[in-house]
């Protein structure tokens, strides 16, 4: 690293000059450029990737200058927001990874850092919203417990499900203030029973969160991601800290992900998933289902319009289809992240051709983007079946795949020796990356089209259907029910990823293949220019 490269950069308020992904990660490099376009970005700062390198060289100890760098960065966010970290008007922050290349969902994110019992009380006074405050506090404890103290995430999910069952609600966003307070107190008991507590000192919280992000660079799924050559020549991860914006603060708030073009078919249309009352990780984690653009348009048309405008502006600037994470806080749109979107080969072909036709990129640039795409092998698959589908979900990656049902990555690996496998799960997370690698298709009961796991599936060319509401599990007996039909692990199903449909008998399913000849001819014409 050059000696004149700073150890920390800020963004989002009075943005500074260009920075490189190699030094500060893809996330911060894009946010600096987006902020300079005048797009609303929560203020924040990023620690240089060299700090990650030093952390591992030093045997897992933070470099000595990190505490001072964190205080300088927090001071910048405080000046930008008028809030104080640990003070009377509490500033809360997110702490995120930031590799030089996109690794969706593979490393860790911690939200609501800066909350303790005292700042919780102050947050209630500041916002006049105890429900929101207790929700942030219970989220911090779950996040911190799992990622910093290695607690079993299942105990938090079990308590949450109990709270929902006790109050008769189907979604956690429906829990009232008293229920969230009780849930938070139950979470506190998990820490009381253990050897370690969440620090009351907010800067100590911040340092622990930074360490958790740095350690996630070497977690099993990150190493697996790199072994599969999905990431090349990456030195480590930056750490990006941003002021929290709150999608869980009220009815005109939420979090979502938008692609400026369809990432599996390539159509030039905004595709988004959004969840009301949610924070940033709820949609991308795959643990929550989401609404689509129609619901957002009906409830907050001005936000939908602004999102279209912002999406086009960012796409035009970076000259490629963008994957944008955003939060709406009380009707105000904030962009948390943007990156070049992962896409199927069909989408890569169509997007390259249309960006060129729109004058955004040149033919040589389009050909370079298609350098690793085998355009002759691309086909559009269509299913014809006289049988009714067993169940329906939401398409998250197109194509058709048949195979034996596997509920775990281990079983998928065993079944794959005899043929194709369909990974069937309540939800799929980046921890399932080995199973995703082996399977031909993925079917989930929960999740959104834009979740990190769906993004990885598209990148790897896997058929994916999410939010299949007719899918129920009987885990102890290794069975599931699809549309009322009981199936066992090892039974065969077919996924129509174009229509989001699931069929039982693959022998009665006919697949037609159609090549996108017009797009292919355009690319061939460039090659002879």
- Beta strands (DSSP E) in 59-194 are 93-98, 109-113
- Its pTM stands at 0.91
* 58 shares its domain with 80: yes
Per-residue pLDDT reduced to its tens digit, 75-88:
999 999 999 999 99
- Check residue 374 and give its pLDDT: 92
Per-residue pLDDT reduced to its tens digit, 298-357:
999 999 999 999 999 999 999 999 999 999 999 999 999 999 998 999 999 999 999 999
Scan for tokens 């220019």, then name that residue.
529
Q: Tell how strand 238-243 and strand 93-98 pair up.
A: antiparallel
In a domain, 3, yes or no: no
Q: Which long-range contacts (CB under 8 A, 24 or more apart) does 309-312 make?
A: 310/39, 310/335, 311/258, 311/260, 311/270, 312/260
In a domain, 1, yes or no: no
In a domain, 25, yes or no: yes
* 285 shares its domain with 422: no
* 76 shares its domain with 126: yes
- Check residue 17 and give its pLDDT: 63
User: Whole-angstrom distance between the N-terminal and C-terminal Cα of the chain?
Assistant: 40
* 59 shares its domain with 198: yes
* 71 shares its domain with 164: yes
Residue ranges making up the domain that contains 399: 388-504
* 181 shares its domain with 291: no
Mean pLDDT value of segment 241-250: 97
Say which CATH number the domain at 61 has: 3.30.1490.20
* 197 shares its domain with 279: no
Mean pLDDT value of segment 487-494: 94
CB burial readout 189-226, b (16+ within 10 A) else e: ebbeeeeeebeeebbebbbbbbbbbbbbbebebbebbb
Quote the tokens at residue 241: 């800290």
In a domain, 33, yes or no: yes
Would you call 390 helix, strand, or coil by DSSP?
coil
Quote the tokens at residue 449: 């089209």
Would you call 354 helix, strand, or coil by DSSP?
helix
Would you call 431 helix, strand, or coil by DSSP?
helix
Phi-psi region of 21 (alpha: psi -120 to 50; beta: other; left: phi over 0): alpha
Please list, in sequence order, all residues whose beta carbon lies within 8 angstroms of the beta carbon of residue 433, skipping any fewer than 6 positions away: 106, 221, 224, 225, 228, 456
In a domain, 263, yes or no: yes
* 397 shares its domain with 312: no
* 209 shares its domain with 77: yes
* 296 shares its domain with 326: yes
β-partners of residue 322 are 340
Mean pLDDT value of segment 169-191: 95
- Check residue 1 and give its pLDDT: 45
Per-residue pLDDT reduced to its tens digit, 108-162:
899 999 999 999 999 999 999 999 999 999 999 999 999 999 999 999 999 999 9
In DSSP notation, 242-294 reads EE---TTSSTT-EEEEEESS-TTT--SS-EEEEEET--HHHHHTSSS--B-HH
- Check residue 194 and give its pLDDT: 83
**Residue 510: how many CB atoms within 10 A of its CB?**
10
Mean pLDDT value of segment 489-497: 94
* 227 shares its domain with 141: yes
**Residues 225, 81 contacting (CB under 8 angstroms):** no
- Check residue 103 and give its pLDDT: 76
Scan for tokens 């290794």, then name that residue.
478
Per-residue pLDDT reduced to its tens digit, 64-76:
999 999 999 999 9
* 61 shares its domain with 100: yes
**Residues 471, 480 contacting (CB under 8 angstroms):** yes
Mean pLDDT value of segment 88-112: 90
Mean pLDDT value of segment 442-460: 83
Q: What are φ and ψ of residue 450, in 5° steps?
A: -105, 10
C-alpha dihedral (47, 204, 158, 170), degrees to nearest 10? -60
Q: Average pLDDT of the chain?
A: 91
Please list, in sequence order, all residues whose beta carbon lies within 8 angstroms of the beta carbon of residue 163, skipping any fewer than 6 positions away: 172, 175, 179, 180, 182, 183, 186
In DSSP notation, 175-203 reads --HHHHHHHHHHHHHHHHTSS----SSHH
- Whole-angstrom distance, CA of residue 83 vs CA of residue 47: 21
Q: Tell how strand 501-503 and strand 492-496 pair up.
A: antiparallel
- Check residue 390 and give its pLDDT: 92
Nearest of 263, 447, 449 to residue 344 by alpha carbon: 263
pLDDT band at 453 (very low <50, low <70, confident <90, very high): confident
Mean pLDDT value of segment 16-35: 88
- Pick the last residue of a domain from 224, 243, 262: 243
- Check residue 454 and give its pLDDT: 79
Nearest of 384, 445, 341, 271 to residue 104 by alpha carbon: 341
User: How does DSSP classify residue 486?
Assistant: E
In a domain, 509, yes or no: no
In a domain, 109, yes or no: yes
- Check residue 229 and give its pLDDT: 60
Number of structural domains, the chain?
Answer: 4
In a domain, 249, yes or no: no
């Amino acid at each position: 690293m050059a000696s004149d490269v700073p150890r920390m950069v800020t963004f989002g308020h009075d943005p500074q000059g260009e920075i490189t992904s190699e030094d500060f990660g893809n996330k911060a490099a894009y946010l600096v450029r987006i902020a300079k376009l005048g797009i609303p970005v929560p203020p924040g700062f990023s620690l240089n990737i060299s700090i990650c390198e030093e952390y591992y060289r030093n045997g897992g100890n933070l470099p000595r200058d990190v505490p001072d760098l964190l205080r300088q960065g927090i001071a910048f966010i405080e000046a930008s927001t008028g809030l104080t970290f640990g003070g009377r008007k509490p500033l809360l922050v997110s702490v995120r990874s930031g590799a030089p290349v996109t690794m969706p969902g593979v490393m860790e994110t911690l939200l609501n850092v800066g909350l303790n019992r005292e700042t919780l009380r102050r947050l209630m006074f500041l916002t006049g919203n105890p429900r929101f405050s207790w929700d942030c506090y219970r989220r911090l404890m779950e996040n911190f417990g799992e990622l910093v103290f290695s607690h079993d995430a299942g105990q938090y999910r079990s308590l949450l499900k109990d709270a929902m069952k006790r109050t008769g609600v189907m979604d956690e966003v429906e829990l009232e203030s008293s229920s969230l307070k009780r849930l938070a107190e139950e979470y506190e008991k998990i820490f009381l029973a253990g050897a370690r507590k969440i620090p009351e000192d907010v800067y100590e919280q911040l340092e622990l969160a930074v360490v958790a992000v740095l350690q996630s660079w070497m977690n099993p799924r990150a190493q697996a991601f790199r072994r599969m050559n999905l990431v090349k020549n990456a030195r480590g991860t930056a750490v990006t800290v941003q002021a929290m914006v709150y999608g869980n603060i009220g009815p005109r708030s939420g979090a979502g992900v938008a692609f400026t073009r369809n990432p599996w078919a390539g159509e030039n249309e905004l595709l988004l998933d959004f969840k009301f009352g949610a924070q940033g990780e709820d949609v991308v984690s795959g643990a929550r289902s989401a609404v689509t653009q129609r619901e957002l348009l009906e409830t907050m048309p001005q936000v939908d319009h602004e999102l279209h405008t912002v999406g086009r502006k960012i796409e035009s600037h970076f000259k490629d289809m963008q994957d944008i994470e955003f939060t709406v806080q009380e009707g105000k749109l904030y962009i948390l992240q943007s990156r070049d979107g992962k896409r199927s080969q069909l989408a890569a072909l169509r997007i390259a051709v249309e960006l060129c036709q729109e004058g955004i990129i040149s033919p040589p640039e389009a050909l370079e983007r298609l350098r690793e795409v085998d355009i002759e092998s691309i086909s559009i698959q269509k299913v014809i079946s006289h049988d009714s589908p067993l169940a329906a979900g939401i398409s998250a990656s197109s194509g058709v795949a048949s195979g034996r049902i596997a509920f775990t990555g281990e079983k998928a690996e065993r079944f794959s020796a005899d043929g194709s496998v369909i990974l069937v799960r309540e939800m799929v997370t980046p921890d399932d990356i080995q199973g995703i690698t082996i399977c031909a298709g993925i079917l989930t009961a929960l999740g959104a089209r834009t979740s990190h796991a769906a993004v990885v599936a598209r990148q790897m060319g896997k058929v994916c259907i999410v939010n299949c509401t007719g899918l129920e599990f009987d885990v102890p007996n290794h069975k599931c029910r699809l549309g009322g039909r009981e199936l066992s692990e090892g039974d065969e199903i077919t996924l129509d990823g174009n229509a989001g449909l699931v069929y039982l008998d693959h022998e009665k399913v006919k697949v037609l293949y159609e090549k996108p000849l017009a797009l292919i001819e355009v690319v061939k014409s460039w090659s002879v220019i």
